[in-house]
A and B are shown apart, each in its own frame.
Chain A
Amino acid sequence: MLKSKTFVKKTRSGGVMKVVREHYLRDDIWCGSEVCTECKQESTVLQKDACMESSLCSYPHYLVPDTNVVLHQIDILEDPVICNVIILQTVLQEVRHRSAPVYKRLKDIIHEKEKRFYTFTNEHHRDTFIEREPGESANDRNDRAIRVAVKWYSQHLKTFESDTDGLKVVLLTNDQGNKQKAQDNGLLVYKCEEYVKSLIANPELVDRLALSSDDKNEITSSKVLFPEHLPLSRIQTGIKSSSFLQGTFRASRDNYLEATVFVQGEGEDSTEVLIQGLQNLNRAVHQDVVAVQLLPRSEWVAPSSVVLQDEGTAKDDEDAEEEEGKVTAVEAARKPTGKVVGIIKRNWRPFCGMLNVSQIKESTRHLFTPADRRIPRIRIETRQASTLSGQRIMVAIDGWPKDSRYPNGHFVRSLGGAGEKDTEEEVLLLEHDVPHQAFSQAVLSFLPKMPWAITPEDMMKREDLRPLTVCSVDPPGCTDIDDALHCRELENGNLEVGVHIADVSHFIRPGNALDKEAANRGTTVYLCGKRIDMVPELLSSNLCSLRSNVDRLAFSCIWEINHKAEILKTRFTKSVINSKVSALTLSSLEVRFHMDSETHDPIDLQTKELMETNSMVEEFMLLANISVAQKIYDEFSECALLRKHPAPPPSNYDILIKAAKSKVKIHTDSAKALADSLDAAKVDGFPYFNTLLRILATRCMMQAVYFCSGMDSDFHHYGLASPIYTHFTSPIRRYADIIVHRLLAVAIGADTTYPDLMDKHKQSALCNNLNYRHKMSQYAQRASVAFHTQLFFKSRGILNEEGFVLFVRKNAIIVLIPKFGLEGTVFFDSKDKVSPNIVFEEEGPTLSVEQHKFHIFDKVKVTISLDDSNIQHQKIRMALIEPVIPGVSVPAPDTERPAKKQKLDH
């Protein structure tokens, strides 16, 4: 059946045009149910005995959620209890337009076989397609389409009533109007809450319900606390006429009544607008995109330096606190100040944190304190408060009505007991936005089928290097081996050296779910004793891992080198190798907080003891990376993915030069000069001096980043002193390497290209994601190290250790304890004591406390203990023992000195 769709559309130039589209309505779209004998479907999704124990529906039934139910209650739909659900195409399309993350989650559910979610293409079905009626809004039309489809289903299934136990279709909607109309049509319809509450066997699901707008009124007072948000249309006109500014809302970590809005201006210039006070913050949450209005200049204020934690109880008693927050400011320090008038885009995600159980025992409403201090507390409703207290939980925000002091949310899930290792690991992964869920079915479906073997087609474009003796060099226990080497003498007396890298791009084809997942994860994250893989384990630890004595696909970079170590020839090829030995194992690496043996990025932890074999491997990996970078840049000057490390501005080195001035001279003209002077910097009787200098030097560096060659002109890698560089050698754990592999494969004609690979804007967007993921993974690693350090000190009690002053601040010194590689701050002013006389000198820099003057590199003695007064934010506390400053230093406590070579318990 043919239908013609006609609609009028506005063109970009403002004209009106008529669009005519054909629409073919089909009669071969099947219902997907097991009971149906009429539909000629090959496989069915929906079960015959679709039983969910509900007190409302005692018969087997299929659920049909409407769009808003999917958008808001996706947490419920994800629960394994909910299955046999029909997702209509209308709903799927609407979700796709309204929320990309929910759409992705919905698709993942549909792919999961056990969940039995069936997509019914109702818009193309001749009996369920409806046309929009004159005067009907698009939303009303879609609601009607959903009702028509449900009606069709219930009539369709009625035909088979005799062989089923009264199988029915149940529509879930939260919209009162829609529900009423559905009832009038004789459909079975329930509100999502009603239905979920009726699931007697699974009462815990109720807590995961998002609060709908009707409920909000019940739990808040009628007092209006916040000004109304402006509608989007008025915000847009306001921004156009520049009476409002659009920017990202960044809450202050230290003061809950203060925030800045970062306004991106034209080109480089961007401004920050200060916002103070609850009324002005007007329900914006960290990372939201908001519209702000500047206050008149006379009302501008300076950022307050007060640390203010929201300790308020569940009552709306903010008045007293607010007075405190306003600090009269010095004229000069005043900054542009404004107020939030509307929210352009909410950026809410589920937050980790802990529950503050309400004092009233029977109360079901509790406040939740997120781990991130920038997020306000959230009011949730739960009946399991007593079980949840003391646990780390996740909560999602549902809304923030104008008469409520706190946003309303719902409980998503529990992560486990606070302070437990697994729980805390989960928390730090979530807080650093590291995707760490198990790989979805859709992703796993793209893995090669086992048993896997190399086929003749695989061999077509590959060189057979199996006869060569290839070996890998990796730390013991390493399961993702992505590089191997070989070296042999050629007949002409030269040497042939080959670097062989796992051919991950052979298994991960562009654009499929596996590829998208890997691109999103960006990198494998290594925590202490845990690894979050970028690609599923089958690839990372088996098929792509260059294990010994098995045939593996590789991407090889082979050089011909003469005995003066000059490169005569470079070539690249896809190959098959069989690693003969992985005998060279490294034993005495500092494994404790060792992160990554080949990261060439500055990391600020300990310098590692390097074995000579390891540094040899590194040299060749660097060479391979540089050779590949050159090759892909020559071939694709616009879209090569490269890595650069910008030279730091000279001022960055000031602190280093000043600090070293009294002992040695540091040259910072070039990376080479710096490296040489660091090598030469040795002070007799102070062996640790050189390491300290290096740590300081690393702090001066910039971050290395990925970029697309078509979008940038500066390619230089400062740290490696190379004019061009990229990442090629670790495709198992870095996505950038996979892209580089693909580029190189195209360059040598071994593989095909695809549009996104050649699109520099898309490449650039990908680079941004990779840089973000790398940064977050580093933060997560550090947080993991910090957590394990805390565990260590928890078991040790108070320790006395020697350390060195690494930095001098205005009111504190930062001390490095070489033995643990631990850094801590010794504060000289504290709330409960009278501050001593402190003088800070920029030149030097030095800090005088009473009579004593602290310099960088001074040796001090401190006590180290764990401060666990705040269970969500435990930290290491240090106090000074030596030099003894009366009134400041503490007496050395009596502790057993731990044995010298004690290992961490992790």
Chain B
Amino acid sequence: MAGLELLSDQGYRLDGRKATELRKLQARMGVFTQADGSAYLEQGNTKALAVVYGPHEMRGSRSRTLHDRAVINCQYSMATFSTAERKRRPHGDRKSTEMSLHLKQTFEAAVMTQLYPRSQIDIYVKVRVGLTLHLVRGIIAEIDFFVIVHKHVSIVFQQILQSDGGNYSVCVNAATLAVIDAGIPMRDYVCACTVGFVDETPLADLCYAEENGGVSSLALALLPRGGQIALLQMDARLHQDHLETLIEAAMTACKGVSKVLDEVVRQHLQEASVLTGE
């Protein structure tokens, strides 16, 4: 039995996209009223909810306080039903802890933390499978539960609700919108995308089947305007010589994502200004 053909001779991928095409990206900001900022984002079948609290005073152990800037606190979790096989623990396992750490690093690079010394920003992201926008009510219930458990954290709350590949980048994109929704100043949008390398061709925005199909993948978070890289992560084996082409492809993909995010933000503002009568 032959394995999956990730890229056909005609240049189509498993799901019918071409090598550089992104998945369908949809987002909505301000999905919760209780939180300071929130956003829901779908990138293909990967769905994430991000919630931001803060900036606020340090809670819990005061010793972590930084005197020149804000502390960013991230928590990543996956809904137990977000993958094909039910997960036992929604967060706190090694994968989630690692992902939380990556998110923290990304946003420390992007958020202008020096404006809020001695305070704290909390980001929560959750990934989930199989639900669409109209089910957001159910999600809210779950998030409230989270808030109760983690009272000591305060700014961004990101959750992946459904996972079909590219969890990290989807989290980053959702969290960016949530941070913007919270009105926290950032240097630029942080846009992230995963890319893979197959048959000497970089594939943008991998789906789950591709991520598991033996592709060496790379996740990159970019501040698109200045072209600075906020985070670059790769676990697979790839030759140095291919790295440059791969990063280039990732940056192009991130710029594509940033366009969509920008549109979402502008539309949200328009809606908000209509509501407030301005």
Q: Residue among B14, B15, B16, B21 with the most chain A CB within 10 A?
A: B16
Contact A25 B85, beta carbon cutoff 8 Å: no
Partner of B9, one of A19, A107, A123, A511: A107
> What residues on A are CB-neighbors of B239 within 8 Å?
752-754
* Proximity bits, B183-213, A CB within 8 Å = 1, else 0: 0000000000000000110000001010000
Contact B129 A20, beta carbon cutoff 8 Å: yes
Chain B residues with a Cβ closer than 8 Å to the other chain, count:
31
Contact B2 A97, beta carbon cutoff 8 Å: yes
Contact B241 A22, beta carbon cutoff 8 Å: no
Q: Residue among A24, A26, A103, A123 with the most chain B CB within 10 A?
A: A24
- Looking across the interface, which residue of chain A has its beta carbon closest to that of B24? A2
Say yes or no: is A831 at the interface (Cβ < 8 Å to chain B). Answer: no
Q: Contacts A15-B85, A22-B207 given; indicate if A97 touches B1 (C-beta within 8 A).
A: yes
Q: Contacts A119-B10, A121-B8 given; indicate if A24 touches B84 (C-beta within 8 A).
A: no
Contact B237 A26, beta carbon cutoff 8 Å: no
User: A21 CA to B15 CA in the complex, in Å?
Assistant: 8
* CB-defined A-B contacts under 8 Å, sample of 15: A17-B84, A19-B84, A22-B45, A24-B16, A24-B17, A24-B24, A26-B16, A93-B5, A97-B1, A103-B2, A107-B9, A123-B16, A124-B16, A752-B239, A753-B239
Interface residues on A, range: 20 to 34
User: A4 CA to B45 CA in the complex, in Å?
Assistant: 9
User: A753 CA to B17 CA in the complex, in Å?
Assistant: 29
Contact B45 A752, beta carbon cutoff 8 Å: no
Partner of B240, one of A4, A11, A103, A752: A752
> What residues on B are CB-neighbors of A96 within 8 Å?
2, 5
> What residues on B are CB-neighbors of A477 within 8 Å?
none
Q: Contacts A107-B9, A121-B12 given; indicate if A20 touches B241 (C-beta within 8 A).
A: no
Say yes or no: is A456 at the interface (Cβ < 8 Å to chain B). Answer: no
Q: Residue among B12, B23, B24, B237 with the most chain A CB within 10 A?
A: B12
- Tell me the smallest distance from the CB of A135 to a CB of chain B, in Å: 24
> What residues on A are CB-neighbors of B21 within 8 Å?
24
- Looking across the interface, which residue of chain A has its beta carbon closest to that of B46? A22
Q: Contacts A124-B12, A124-B16 given; indicate if A20 touches B130 (C-beta within 8 A).
A: yes
User: A123 CA to B13 CA in the complex, in Å?
Assistant: 11
Top 10 closest pairs, chain A to chain B, by CB: A124-B16, A24-B16, A17-B84, A752-B239, A752-B241, A22-B15, A22-B44, A121-B10, A24-B17, A23-B15
Q: Which of A114-173 contact B (CB under 8 A)?
A: 119, 121, 123-124
> What residues on A are CB-neighbors of B164 within 8 Å?
20-22
Q: Secondary structure at chain A's binding surface: helix, strand, loop or mixed?
A: mixed
Say yes or no: is A358 at the interface (Cβ < 8 Å to chain B). Answer: no
User: A853 CA to B2 CA in the complex, in Å?
Assistant: 62
* Proximity bits, B205-241, A CB within 8 Å = 1, else 0: 0010100000010000000000000000000010111
> What residues on A are CB-neighbors of B23 within 8 Å?
22
- Looking across the interface, which residue of chain A has its beta carbon closest to that of B2? A96
> What residues on B are CB-neighbors of A26 within 8 Å?
16
- Looking across the interface, which residue of chain A has its beta carbon closest to that of B23? A22
> What residues on B are CB-neighbors of A2 within 8 Å?
24
User: A15 CA to B83 CA in the complex, in Å?
Assistant: 14
- Tell me the smallest distance from the CB of A44 to a CB of chain B, in Å: 14
Say yes or no: is A897 at the interface (Cβ < 8 Å to chain B). Answer: no
* Proximity bits, B23-56, A CB within 8 Å = 1, else 0: 1100000000000000000001100000000000
* Proximity bits, A1-43, B CB within 8 Å = 1, else 0: 0101000000100010111111111100000000000000000
Say yes or no: is A320 at the interface (Cβ < 8 Å to chain B). Answer: no
User: A55 CA to B122 CA in the complex, in Å?
Assistant: 77
Contact B9 A100, beta carbon cutoff 8 Å: no
> What residues on B are CB-neighbors of A15 within 8 Å?
85
Given contacts A20-B164, A22-B207, A96-B2, 11 further A-B contacts (CB under 8 A): A21-B209, A22-B44, A23-B16, A89-B8, A100-B2, A121-B12, A124-B16, A511-B200, A754-B239, A755-B216, A755-B237
